Amino acid sequence: MPNTLRILIGEQTKNFKTAKTVTVIETNIDDMNPQMYENVMGKLFKAGALDVFLENIIMKKSRPAVKLTVIAEARDVERLTDIIFEETTTIGLRFYEARRKTLERTTKKVKTKYGDVRIKVSSLNGKVLNMSPEYEDLKTAAKKTGIPVKKIAVEIIKLYCVR
């Protein structure tokens, strides 16, 4: 149908209005020593990246590769881009904007028989949806006691839920 126009009228939902715009930086790398990714990721986080992750992909000619993705605030993009070019073998990057909605987050410190353990608490409109003990605290407690990390995590979540 030529000369057709479609208009949608509506309102954004409350939750979408609070979403923030972020910039996603991506690149595919097929020629870099995998041991180098730990350093790259550390530098990106230190420089302000909101998230950094790697995905295994297959490129043309069935070459295995890694897709490096960085989620960033607009003000950090140039600095992060420089790090990617300096620390990886990539010769090009892709950028696009995305909307990002996150839960409200707080960290609570809980006294346990293993010592103080931080718990990350995520909520929506005041309702707790997720709890996760800080892994580094669990690791420290496990090393000190010889008890598996998994067992300590379960005990701490039970303890926190009782409070």
pLDDT at position 4: 65
- pLDDT by residue (tens digit) across 37-73? 999 999 999 999 999 999 999 999 999 999 999 999 9
Residue 92 CA to its chain's centroid (Å):
23
- pTM assigned to the model: 0.76
Which residue among 83, 100, 117 closes a domain? Answer: 100
Which residue among 51, 68, 100 closes a domain? Answer: 100
Q: Is residue 37 part of a domain?
A: yes
Quick one: 37 and 108 in the same domain? Answer: no
Q: Is residue 9 part of a domain?
A: no
Number of domains comprising the chain: 2
- pLDDT by residue (tens digit) across 21-35? 999 999 999 999 999
Range of the domain at 96: 20-100
Quick one: 89 and 110 in the same domain? Answer: no
The order of strands in the sheet holding 127-133 is 104-112, 115-124, 127-133
With a pLDDT cut of 90, the percent of the chain lying above it is: 72
